[in-house]
């Protein structure tokens, strides 16, 4: 099906009603004449590619966005942004496609009940920490989300399920339980993404940390737990392979 794309304004406005509920709209003024705060704007000079990536998903784009991740790299309106961010931060694009599918179903304006926003559902504080100024910008949202994911993958030494659990439930809960927390939402979340991600290939080679030293009789000692050898001088060695 052929369709024409013309550059257009895609402004989004935010306002808070009398009950304190936050609303988003493309209409700058409410019925009572109150002006809303503009939180997103696109110029008429944006490229056609950006127009596709930032426009509300119409049926042809949505059909592409729902391509099966497990069957190979999907083609979506956001593939370019995902590939660029993943190349920059060293993350597997297939994993990010799976996360975006589960988080927002490729809807750049998705908002959760808890206030997470955009394609990778960034919480306001997380977005602020990542210097994401506009969570509804696909490029900014994906860049921030991939950067945060990379941090989690490094923290959990390439353990994808743990990184996903922390992305969903927070690092505090993963630390508390020492594994994927026993929350139905989080466990279902991890299962869905891992299924899309073809059973859990690592997003990058995991890092291993060992400690090297010698016993009193000169025998080489290798251990991953230096606390058991506090009487010895051990040298830390970290790498992709041992």
Task: Specify the pLDDT at position 215.
Answer: 75
Q: Distance (Å, rounded) from C-alpha 14 to C-alpha 34?
A: 11
State the catalytic residue, choosing from 14, 87, 103, 143: 103
Residue 128 parent element (H or E): helix 124-129
Average pLDDT over the chain, rounded to an integer: 74
Q: Distance (Å, rounded) from C-alpha 105 to C-alpha 107?
A: 6
As a whole-number percent, the residues of the chain with pLDDT over 70 amount to: 57
Confirm whether 103 is a catalytic residue.
yes
Q: Distance (Å, rounded) from C-alpha 136 to C-alpha 26?
A: 13
Confidence of residue 118 (pLDDT cuts 50, 70, 90): very high
- Check the CA dihedral 88-201-131-101 and report its sign: positive
pLDDT tens by residue, 138-160: 999 999 999 999 999 999 999 99
Rg (alpha carbons) of the chain, rounded to whole number: 22
Task: Specify the pLDDT at position 65.
Answer: 34
What contacts 47, CB < 8 A, 6 or more positions away? none
Q: Distance (Å, rounded) from C-alpha 55 to C-alpha 138?
A: 10
Task: Specify the pLDDT at position 220.
Answer: 74
Task: Please state whether beta strands 22-25 and 235-239 pair in parallel, antiparallel, or not at all (unpaired).
Answer: unpaired
Tally the C-alpha atoms within 13 A of residue 172's C-alpha that lie toward its C-beta.
0
| Domains with residue ranges and CATH for the chain | 1-46 (no CATH), 51-196 (1.10.530.10), 208-239 (no CATH)
Instruction: Check whether 229 has a pLDDT greater than 90.
Output: no
Q: Distance (Å, rounded) from C-alpha 163 to C-alpha 67?
A: 24
pLDDT tens by residue, 39-88: 555 443 343 334 334 434 333 333 333 333 443 444 567 999 999 999 99
Task: Specify the pLDDT at position 44.
Answer: 37
pLDDT tens by residue, 181-223: 999 999 999 999 999 987 544 444 344 566 677 777 777 777 7
Task: Specify the pLDDT at position 235.
Answer: 74
Q: Read off the DSSP letter of residue 206.
A: P
Instruction: Check whether 25 has a pLDDT greater than 60.
Output: yes
Q: Read off the DSSP letter of residue 6.
A: -
Task: Specify the pLDDT at position 3.
Answer: 44
As a whole-number percent, the residues of the chain with pLDDT over 90 amount to: 48
Q: Distance (Å, rounded) from C-alpha 181 to C-alpha 185?
A: 10
């Amino acid at each position: 099906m052929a369709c024409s794309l013309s550059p257009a304004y895609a402004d989004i406005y935010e306002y808070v009603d009398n009950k304190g509920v936050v609303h988003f709209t493309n209409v700058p003024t409410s019925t009572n004449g109150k002006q809303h705060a503009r939180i997103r704007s696109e110029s008429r000079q944006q490229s056609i590619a950006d127009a596709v990536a930032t426009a509300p998903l119409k049926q042809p784009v949505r059909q592409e966005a729902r391509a099966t991740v497990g069957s190979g790299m999907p083609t979506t309106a956001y593939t370019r942004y995902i590939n660029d961010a993943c190349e920059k931060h060293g993350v597997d694009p297939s994993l990010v496609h799976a996360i975006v599918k589960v988080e927002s179903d490729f809807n750049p304006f998705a908002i959760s009940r808890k206030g997470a926003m955009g394609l990778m559902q960034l919480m306001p504080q997380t977005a602020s920490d990542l210097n994401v100024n506009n969570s509804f910008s696909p490029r900014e949202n994906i860049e921030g989300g991939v950067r945060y994911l990379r941090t989690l993958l490094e923290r959990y030494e390439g353990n994808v399920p743990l990184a996903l659990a922390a992305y969903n439930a927070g690092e505090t809960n993963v630390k508390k339980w020492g594994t994927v927390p026993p929350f139905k939402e989080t466990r279902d979340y991890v299962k869905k993404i891992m299924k899309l991600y073809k059973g859990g290939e690592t997003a990058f080679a995991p890092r291993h940390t060992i400690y090297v030293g010698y016993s009193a009789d000169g025998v080489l000692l290798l251990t991953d737990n230096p606390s058991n050898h506090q009487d010895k001088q051990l040298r830390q060695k970290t790498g992709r392979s041992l």
